[in-house]
């Protein structure tokens, strides 16, 4: 291999400055062999491209040569000494690549393309080590900065380390010219399979029809007043997605302990009164239903019931769960209970930060994030109808701005007195509406559902539901 001096990777120069006297991990001789192997056998580039990018090479000349090779390949042109020289001249980088003599060295010193893929993996490994050194050096520098917020720095450090681990899957800007053909094929497949849900299905047919399921990178808000069924709906969606559609769901419960959630899941699954199930007062027949149906819930719902959870802690846990369990969706119950590290002049500014962070998490993990949210009390001053609006979102208009989908739970029965002799109460007992008040990438509208109070269970609407009166009554008709 020719010993002429060429420019190195600028990033590597920074590493040298940060760790003076130490040689960054590199394999320049193996880089040389991989480039020579491509000149001998152009087809080997197809096996190497999934592993390597220009910046993975330590020597700057090698980065430039590999870039020229990939451009020739993209145009389906042969890669040899002559074409490579012309391409480097066109790029005005022939000198950076070491000149014609270096290209001749690549060909004359390599006799085989064998083991080129294994060599490419070694180059990748050394790049990962250099990247880790660079990230670590940056973190160390910030740790010595007295103005650094340690909690923000911890979150940043974790994110950057995880970025190194999954950089091969990290999204890059795409060219419309290159990708439009593939997207047309995707649309054609959807047209041929019109009943297919593109996102994570909720199990509620009209809602899935309106939204095509909960989509990747979207923040979905389920909003309602206390005791209107936010947790119940979130659990029902988690159950449907996991049991019916085999999705992996992360459920962060900041208000209820996991045992309380288990009671709700079992009550809805077995159709057994939740209050009696919790108190151990179920009949033999009801217990038999529990015993028969609970195996349905042996599925991939991962519950974290940490209270006083900060948004930084939630993001850290979510990243780990994504890596370990390949989760398809995150559910947070509920948004206003999440806290943000640092000092905020007003509560609405803190909620706005949490909201933006949840949206950023959805984009980072490329999965839908569903968050329950409280509505303010203004809705109760609107008279009998009390249908919620976007302006009712409590404490921050940023939630409306950040969310891709906002849906409200409306139960008309909660506007009348809970009395079994009141015809209006009986008529509205099972009625529930999901009002989709915002959908950034689709239509808005109302979805009619049935809510069975005793089981905290939402169901798809049927024509003539059987009305069962709850065994207990309180102000809002809720047995839980």
* CATH at 33: 1.10.860.10
Lowest mean pLDDT among 100-104, 184-188, 343-347, 466-470: 466-470
Same domain, 213 and 359: yes
Per-residue pLDDT reduced to its tens digit, 218-259? 999 998 887 788 899 999 999 999 998 899 999 998 888 888
Same domain, 369 and 238: yes
Same domain, 451 and 313: yes
State percent of the chain over pLDDT 70. 81
Same domain, 296 and 428: yes
Clarify whether 255 is annotated catalytic: yes
Same domain, 392 and 352: yes
The mean predicted confidence, pLDDT, of the chain is 81
Per-residue pLDDT reduced to its tens digit, 61-106? 999 999 999 888 878 789 999 999 999 999 999 999 999 999 999 8
| The dihedral sign for the CA sequence 377, 381, 386, 387 | negative
What is the tally of structural domains in the chain? Answer: 2
CA distance 272 to 406: 31
| pLDDT of 86 | 92
Per-residue pLDDT reduced to its tens digit, 293-339? 888 888 888 998 887 787 877 887 888 888 889 999 999 988 888 87
| pLDDT of 464 | 47
- Which of 11-25, 91-105, 346-360 ranks highest by mean pLDDT? 91-105
Which three-class secondary structure string do you get for the chain? CCCCCCCECHHHHHHHHHCCCCCCCCCHHHHHHHHHHHHHCCCHHHHHCCCCCHHHCCEHHHHHHHHHHHHHHHCCCCCCHHHHHHHHHHCCCCCCCCHHHHHHHHHHCCCCCCCHHHHHHHHHHHHHHHHHHHHHHHHHHHHCCCCCCHHHHHHHHHHHHHHHHCHHHCCCCCCHHHHHHHHHHHHHHHHHCCCCCCCECCCCHHHHHHHCCECCCCEEEEEECCCCCHHHHHHHHHHHHHHHCCCCEEEEECCCCHHHHHHHHHHHHHCCCHHHHHHCCCCHHHHHHHHHHHHHHCCCEEEECCCCCEHHHHHHHHHHHHHHHCCCEEEEECHHHCECCCCCCCHHHHHHHHHHHHHHHHHHHCCCEEEEEEECHHHHHCCCCCCCCHHHECCCCHHHHHCCEEEEEECHHHHCCCCCCCHHHHHHCCEEEEEEEEECCCCCEEEEEEEEHHHCEEEECCCCCCCCCCCCCCCCCCCC
Query: Is residue 262 in some structural domain?
Result: yes
Same domain, 349 and 232: yes
Q: What are phi and psi of 190, to 5 degrees?
A: -65, -35
Site of tokens 């969706």: 329
C-alpha of 59 from chain center: 36
Query: Is residue 141 in some structural domain?
Result: yes
Residues 461 and 451: beta-carbon distance below 8 Å: no
Per-residue pLDDT reduced to its tens digit, 363-380? 989 999 999 988 877 666
Lowest mean pLDDT among 9-23, 96-110, 412-426: 9-23
Per-residue pLDDT reduced to its tens digit, 127-154? 988 888 888 888 888 888 888 888 778 7
Query: Is residue 183 in some structural domain?
Result: no
CA distances from 37 to 41, 102, 115, 116 (A): 6, 14, 9, 7
- Residues 6+ positions from 95 with CB-CB distance below 8 Å: none
Query: Is residue 448 in some structural domain?
Result: yes
Query: Is residue 333 in some structural domain?
Result: yes
Query: Is residue 51 in some structural domain?
Result: yes
Mean pLDDT of the region 202-208: 89
| pLDDT of 15 | 47
CA distance 202 to 447: 13
**Catalytic entry in 255, 286, 468, 476:** 255
Residue numbers of the domain that contains 261: 198-460
**Among residues 169, 184, 211, which one ends one of the domains?**
169
Is the pTM for the entire model greater than 0.85? no
400's tokens: 């409306």
Q: What are phi and psi of 452, to 5 degrees?
A: -95, 105
Residue 202 has pLDDT above 70, yes or no: yes
- Which of 34-38, 302-306, 437-441 ranks highest by mean pLDDT? 34-38
Mean pLDDT of the region 180-201: 73
| pLDDT of 172 | 54
Q: How many residues does the chain have?
A: 480
| pLDDT of 476 | 40
CA distance 249 to 342: 30
Same domain, 117 and 219: no
Residue 169 has pLDDT above 80, yes or no: no
CA distance 408 to 446: 9
Q: Which residue has the higher pLDDT, 308 or 418?
A: 308
Same domain, 406 and 347: yes
Same domain, 107 and 46: yes
113's tokens: 């393309």
Q: How does residue 17 score in pLDDT terms, banded at 50, 70 and 90?
A: low
| CATH code of 298's domain | 3.40.50.300
| pLDDT of 241 | 92
Query: Is residue 471 in some structural domain?
Result: no
Same domain, 261 and 308: yes
49 burial type by CB count under 10 A (0-12 exposed, 13-18 middle, 19+ buried): middle
CA distance 239 to 370: 14
Partnered with residue 331 across adjacent β-strands are: 251, 370
Query: Is residue 256 in some structural domain?
Result: yes
Mean pLDDT of the region 163-185: 66
| pLDDT of 9 | 54
Same domain, 48 and 86: yes
Same domain, 165 and 233: no
310's tokens: 């900060």
Site of tokens 């008040």: 437
Residue 429 has pLDDT above 70, yes or no: yes
343 burial type by CB count under 10 A (0-12 exposed, 13-18 middle, 19+ buried): exposed
464's tokens: 């003539």
């Amino acid at each position: 291999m020719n010993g002429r001096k060429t420019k190195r990777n600028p990033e590597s120069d920074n590493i040298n400055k940060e760790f003076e006297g130490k040689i960054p991990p590199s394999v320049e001789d193996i880089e040389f062999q991989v480039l020579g192997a491509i000149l001998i056998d152009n087809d080997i580039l197809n096996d190497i491209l999934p592993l390597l990018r220009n910046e993975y090479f330590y020597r700057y000349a090698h980065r430039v040569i590999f870039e020229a090779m990939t451009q020739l390949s993209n145009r389906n042109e042969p890669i040899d000494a002559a074409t490579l020289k012309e391409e480097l001249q066109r790029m005005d980088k022939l000198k950076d690549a070491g000149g014609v003599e270096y290209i001749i060295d690549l060909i004359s010193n390599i006799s085989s393309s064998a083991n080129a893929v294994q060599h490419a993996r070694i180059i990748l490994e050394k790049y990962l080590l250099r990247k880790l050194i660079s990230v670590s050096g940056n973190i160390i520098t910030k740790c010595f900065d007295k103005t650094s917020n340690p909690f923000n720095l911890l979150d940043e450090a974790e994110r950057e380390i995880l970025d190194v681990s999954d950089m091969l899957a990290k999204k890059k800007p795409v060219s419309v010219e290159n990708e439009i053909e593939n997207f047309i094929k995707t649309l054609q497949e959807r047209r041929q399979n019109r009943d297919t849900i593109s996102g994570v299905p909720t199990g509620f047919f009209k809602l899935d029809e309106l939204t095509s399921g909960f989509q990747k990178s979207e923040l979905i808000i389920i909003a309602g007043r206390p005791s209107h069924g936010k947790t119940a709906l979130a659990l029902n969606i988690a159950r449907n997605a996991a049991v019916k559609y085999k999705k992996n769901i992360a459920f962060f419960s900041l208000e209820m302990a996991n045992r309380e959630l288990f009671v709700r899941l079992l009550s809805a699954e077995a159709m057994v009164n939740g209050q009696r199930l919790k108190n151990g007062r179920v009949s033999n027949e009801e217990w038999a239903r529990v015993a028969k149906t609970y195996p349905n819930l042996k599925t991939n719902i991962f519950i974290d019931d940490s209270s006083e959870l900060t948004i930084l802690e939630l993001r850290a846990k979510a990243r780990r769960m994504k890596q370990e369990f390949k989760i398809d969706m995150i559910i947070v119950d509920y948004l206003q209970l999440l806290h943000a590290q640092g000092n905020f002049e007003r509560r609405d500014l803190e909620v706005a930060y949490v909201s933006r962070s949840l949206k950023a998490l959805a984009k980072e993990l490329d999965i839908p994030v569903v968050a329950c949210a409280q509505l303010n009390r203004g809705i109760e001053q609107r008279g009998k109808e009390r249908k919620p609006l976007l302006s009712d979102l409590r404490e921050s208009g940023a939630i409306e701005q950040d969310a891709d989908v906002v849906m409200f739970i409306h139960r008309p029965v909660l506007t009348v007195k809970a009395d079994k002799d009141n015809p209006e109460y009986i008529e509205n007992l099972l009625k529930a509406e999901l009002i989709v008040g915002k959908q950034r990438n689709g239509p808005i509208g109302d979805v009619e559902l049935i809510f069975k109070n005793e089981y905290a269970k939402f169901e798809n609407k049927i024509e003539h539901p059987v009305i069962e009166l709850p065994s207990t009554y309180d102000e809002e008709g809720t047995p839980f």
